[in-house]
């Protein structure tokens, strides 16, 4: 790529938005071309660099999505499901690639990304770190190798401000385990236990969500049988791993054909 990729960032005042700005500014392969916030936000109309407590950057924070995307090659989006759908539609209109790190999307909301994906590149992942995506692959392989004598539990921990549970990463891991076993996660998922639940049903995949303090992200996949446990684990100690993954995904979109992709495609781990 001769020129740096022009990247628009949504939800730029949030923790991930700020981290994305810092990650992109440190790269010689991309620049922040636009900064987007919701209508009425205090940052609207301010210079992005000044709003972040630094020197002027020349990028003014805006709530005009179409104008922001008109000068971008790709938009990186860690917001909320409803906003993400609107951004996907705007990106498709502008012919701009869309990298989505938003979690908590329902199957119906994800399906609404199908139409935009016929017009532009969409990369969506519940987690964009290299380590987590390797963990997904390991989980699938271990689940395929072990039978139902091994109970599967996905245990995740995040900060006390996270609004969705189980996390998008936990669901990715659950899907991988279910795929490894050749079953549909919706048919075998246990999302909550309380009271007199009775004995565990054979073949179920359980989820436990922990929320507290400033935990960035911890995920365990436990395969438990009589006499032994196998535990696959990933711990994120710095939110920059997600920003670096998102930047990698954004750079990967250059020259790709419209379609729906994920981080396994970006990392060359897809089996397709």
Q: Mind listing the pLDDT tens digit for each residue in 141-199?
A: 999 999 999 999 999 999 999 999 999 899 999 999 999 999 999 999 999 888 999 99
CA atoms within 13 A on the CB side of 143: 27
Backbone angles phi, psi at 72, to 5 degrees: -115, 155
Domain with CATH 3.30.360.10 in the chain: 130-236
Print burial letters for 202-217: b (CB count within 10 Å at least 16), e (below 16).
ebebbbbbeeeeebbb
pLDDT at 272 over 90: no
Q: Residue 192: its pLDDT value, please?
A: 83
Confidence class for position 271, pLDDT limits 50, 70, 90: low
Cα separation, 61 vs 46, in Å, equals 6
Q: What is the pLDDT of residue 270?
A: 74
Beta strand 228-236 with 217-225 is antiparallel
Q: Which CATH number fits domain 5-124+239-266: 3.40.50.2300, 3.40.50.720, 3.40.228.10, 3.30.2080.10?
A: 3.40.50.720
Q: Is 271 helix (H, G, I), strand (E, B) or coil?
A: coil
Percent of the chain at pLDDT exceeding 70: 99
Tokens of 98: 């869309």
Q: In DSSP terms, which residues pair with 235 in a beta bridge? A: 218
Phi–psi pair at 87, nearest 5 degrees: -65, -40
pLDDT digits (tens, 9 = 90+) for 199-249: 999 999 999 999 999 999 999 999 999 999 999 999 999 889 999 999 999
Cα separation of 121 and 114, whole Å? 11
Residue in 98, 158, 219, 234 annotated catalytic: 158
Catalytic annotation present for 234: no
Averaged pLDDT score across all residues of the chain: 95
- pLDDT-based confidence at 70, cuts 50/70/90? very high
Q: Which two tokens mark 269?
A: 């781990």
What is the token pair recorded at 93? Answer: 């209109």
Distance CA 33, CA 105 (A): 27
Catalytic residue selected from 3, 140, 159, 162: 162
- For the beta carbon of residue 193, count every other beta carbon within 10 angstroms: 11
For residue 38, pLDDT beyond 90:
yes
Average pLDDT over residues 59-70: 97
Q: What CA dihedral angle connects 228, 231, 123 and 239, to 10 degrees?
A: 170
Listed in order, the ranges of the chain carrying CATH 3.40.50.720 are 5-124+239-266
Tell me the sheet residues that pair with 178: none
Q: Which CATH number fits domain 130-236: 3.30.360.10, 3.90.25.10, 2.160.10.10, 3.20.20.60?
A: 3.30.360.10
């Amino acid at each position: 790529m001769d020129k740096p990729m022009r990247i628009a960032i949504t939800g730029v005042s949030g923790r991930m938005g700020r981290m994305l700005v810092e990650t992109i500014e440190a790269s010689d392969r991309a620049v922040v071309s636009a900064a987007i916030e919701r209508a009425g936000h205090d940052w609207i109309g301010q210079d992005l660099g000044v709003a972040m407590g630094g020197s002027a950057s020349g990028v003014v924070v805006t709530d005009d999505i179409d104008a922001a995307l008109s000068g971008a090659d790709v938009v990186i989006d860690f917001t909320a499901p409803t906003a993400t759908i609107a951004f996907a539609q705007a990106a498709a209109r502008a012919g701009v690639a869309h990298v989505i790190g938003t979690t908590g999307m329902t199957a119906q909301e994800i399906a609404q990304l199908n139409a935009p994906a016929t017009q532009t590149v969409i990369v969506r992942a519940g987690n964009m770190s290299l380590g987590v995506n390797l963990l997904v692959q390991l989980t699938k392989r271990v689940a395929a190798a072990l039978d139902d004598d091994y109970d599967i539990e996905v245990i995740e921990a995040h900060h006390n401000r996270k609004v969705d549970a189980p996390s998008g990463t936990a669901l990715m891991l659950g899907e991988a385990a279910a795929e490894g076993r050749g079953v549909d996660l919706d048919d075998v998922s246990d999302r909550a236990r309380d009271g007199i639940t009775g004995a565990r049903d054979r073949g179920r995949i359980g989820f436990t969500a922990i929320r507290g303090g400033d935990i960035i992200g911890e995920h365990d996949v436990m395969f438990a049988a009589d006499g032994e446990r196998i535990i696959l684990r990933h711990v994120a100690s710095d939110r920059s791993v997600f920003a670096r993954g998102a930047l990698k995904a954004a750079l990967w979109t250059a020259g790709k054909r419209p379609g729906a992709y994920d981080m396994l495609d970006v990392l060359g781990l897809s089996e397709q």
